[in-house]
């Protein structure tokens, strides 16, 4: 029970509060202990669903929290989180991530200003809303919904796949027609046609199955 006076340790009500996922702090006036206050945060509505979805995608989850071990374990079990690091001070979060990065690529989701060092240390830093130092994050989620992490993963995965496809298309067109035109095997005008065709193919492939991206971009242009 991190931070509690010895006189509160072992009290049934304190232990019960921590087992229920609350953080218990002692209240005193001078040297006189007056009692204890149990504080608790409600989980976001979509937390459990998001954690389950991450597991389905083969992504392991971990929680870094400054609360004591008992409270942290309760929160993790309720949300379905795989790994718990309790009693971690804000300054130590980056070091904990550095250790985790020895065996895997790590994405960090933070919702507080003190998460900035950890967001910078992570391979991908995801800031939740305006309560985080957004300058330290790679991705910013403005609506505060944990489920948006899945959306960000899907968008980045789709974008990376399209990038590889477009590079392949560019090499397929230009890697063939330019050498042929340079050696005189075809007229240069056909190389120009092939280059225009490659640009068109890349444009169409980028919008394939998502034509709304193009129309939304056009509609967002203001005169």
Of 22, 126, 21, residue with least CA distance to 76: 21
User: What pLDDT does 221 receive?
Assistant: 64
Report the sign of the C-alpha dihedral through residues 148, 149, 154, 158, in that order. positive
> Please, where in the chain does CATH 3.40.50.1000 lie?
47-145
SS3 157: helix
Looking at the chain, how many residues does it have?
223
Confirm whether pTM is higher than 0.85.
no
**Domain 47-145: which topology?**
Rossmann fold (3.40.50)
Per-residue pLDDT band for 1 (boundaries 50, 70, 90) equals very low
pLDDT at 37 over 80: no
Q: Give per-residue pLDDT as tens, 134-176.
A: 677 888 888 878 889 998 898 888 889 999 999 888 888 777 7
DSSP-derived secondary structure letter, 128: E
User: What average pLDDT score do residues 73-89 get?
Assistant: 88
User: What average pLDDT score do residues 174-188 get?
Assistant: 78
Residues 6+ apart with CB under 8 A from 85: 62, 63, 64, 65, 72, 96
Residues 6+ apart with CB under 8 A from 46: 145, 146, 147
User: What pLDDT does 171 receive?
Assistant: 83
User: What average pLDDT score do residues 83-91 get?
Assistant: 88
pLDDT at 3 over 50: no
Q: Give per-residue pLDDT as tens, 93-112.
A: 999 999 999 989 999 998 87
| Summary mean pLDDT of the chain | 80
The span from the CA of 112 to the CA of 137, in Å, is 12
Radius of gyration, alpha carbons of the chain: 26
User: What average pLDDT score do residues 164-191 get?
Assistant: 81
- Decide if 81 contacts 61 (C-beta within 8 A): yes
The span from the CA of 188 to the CA of 199, in Å, is 17
User: What pLDDT does 10 receive?
Assistant: 46
Distances (CA, A) of 163 to 105, 170, 187, 205, 212: 21, 11, 30, 10, 18
Question: By percentage, how much of the chain surpasses pLDDT 70?
Answer: 80
Enter the tokens of residue 216.
């939304």
pLDDT at 206 over 80: yes
pLDDT at 44 over 50: yes
């Amino acid at each position: 029970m991190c931070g509690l006076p010895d006189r509160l340790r072992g009290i049934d009500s304190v232990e019960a509060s921590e087992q229920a996922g609350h953080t218990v702090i002692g209240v005193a006036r001078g040297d006189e202990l007056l009692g204890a206050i149990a504080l608790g945060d409600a989980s976001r509505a979509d937390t459990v669903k998001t954690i389950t979805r991450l597991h389905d995608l083969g992504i392991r989850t971990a929680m870094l929290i400054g609360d004591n071990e008992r409270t942290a374990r309760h929160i993790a079990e309720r949300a379905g989180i795989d790994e718990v690091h309790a009693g971690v001070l804000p300054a130590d979060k980056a070091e904990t991530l550095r250790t985790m990065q020895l065996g895997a690529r790590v994405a960090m989701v933070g919702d507080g200003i003190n998460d900035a060092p950890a967001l910078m240390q992570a391979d991908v830093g995801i800031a939740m809303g305006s309560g985080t130092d957004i300058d330290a994050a790679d991705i910013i989620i403005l609506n505060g919904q944990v489920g948006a992490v899945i959306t960000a993963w899907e968008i980045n995965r789709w974008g990376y796949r399209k990038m590889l496809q477009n590079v392949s298309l560019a090499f397929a067109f230009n890697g063939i027609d330019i050498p042929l035109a340079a050696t005189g095997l075809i007229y240069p005008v056909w190389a120009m046609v092939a280059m225009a065709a490659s640009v068109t193919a890349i444009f169409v492939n980028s919008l394939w199955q998502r034509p709304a991206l193009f129309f939304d971009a056009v509609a967002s242009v203001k005169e």
